[in-house]
Amino acid sequence: MTRSTTAVLWLLVLLLSLPQYPLSAQADNLQAAPHRDGSERSSELYEGPLVHDQQWVMTQGATNTQVLGVFGGTCSLIQSNVRNVRGWERVRFEAEYEGLGVWKVTHVDTVVGTAIADSGQRYSYTYNLRRSVTGITTDGKPPKPNRARPTETNPGFLDPVPSNIESATLEFNDFFLLRDETTGQLVADANVVGWFHRRIYPSEQPPAFFPFVLDGYIATRLETLAGQAGCDPL
């Protein structure tokens, strides 16, 4: 056997010993290459005193109970109006890389605090709003959450969609629990889920059941899973 023949045989053995991947897996690895520092990213954008809707009021009433309180809904589960005393807020950002340039981004806003009724009854409350989008980044880099403090012209860290994300839909899960401060008994609650779609054409108007445009998205469907939507003042 000649020296050149031996070299060819060794090269063949080396090639056969390499792991074989499906073409799709190879393509996926190429796309994921820029994100090998971690397919999941999670960071805390803020923790401190409540920064939004600090003067919220849960309005007692038997009409408009299926409209979110922050948009004028009322709550029939309370005996008198309930007002915020103080709240503590935590805002968290999560991003999961799903391959081939697709990211799932979740923005979570959680608030705990105390409230008081016009009657003097005191309560504790918990609020949680989870909003998610799945899409691509416009610059090929991981999603970049807004870390600025909210102002009248900039939602800051309350913005659920990073500036470099393009997504057609947004979904949210929103719940609010009001409990008697002494007994811990649940007094009023709300759990609303919803699906929104991106408004591409300015002429498209939001539906009558939710006549608002939020961050460029229009409501497709809203559903109250528990309690009354009007019992969520945040």
pLDDT, tens digit, 9 for 90 and up, residues 16-54: 333 443 433 433 333 344 444 445 688 999 999 999 999
Residue from 78, 75, 72, 70 nearest 228 by CA: 75
Per-residue model confidence as pLDDT tens digits over 122-179? 999 999 999 999 999 999 999 999 999 999 899 999 999 999 999 999 999 999 999 9
Spatial contact of 115 and 85, defined as CB atoms under 8 Å apart: yes
pLDDT of 215 reads 83
Angstrom distance (rounded) from CA 130 to CA 128:
7
Average confidence (pLDDT) over 169-197: 97
Residue with tokens 């053995």: 13
- Cα–Cα distance for residue pair 146/172, rounded to 1 Å: 18
DSSP for 130-196 reads EEEEEEEETTSS------SPP-SS--GGG-SS-TTEE-SEEEEEEEEEEEETTT--EEEEEEEEEEE
What is the per-residue pLDDT across 66-118, written as a single tens digit (0 to 9) for each? 988 888 899 999 999 999 999 999 999 999 999 999 999 999 999 999 999 99
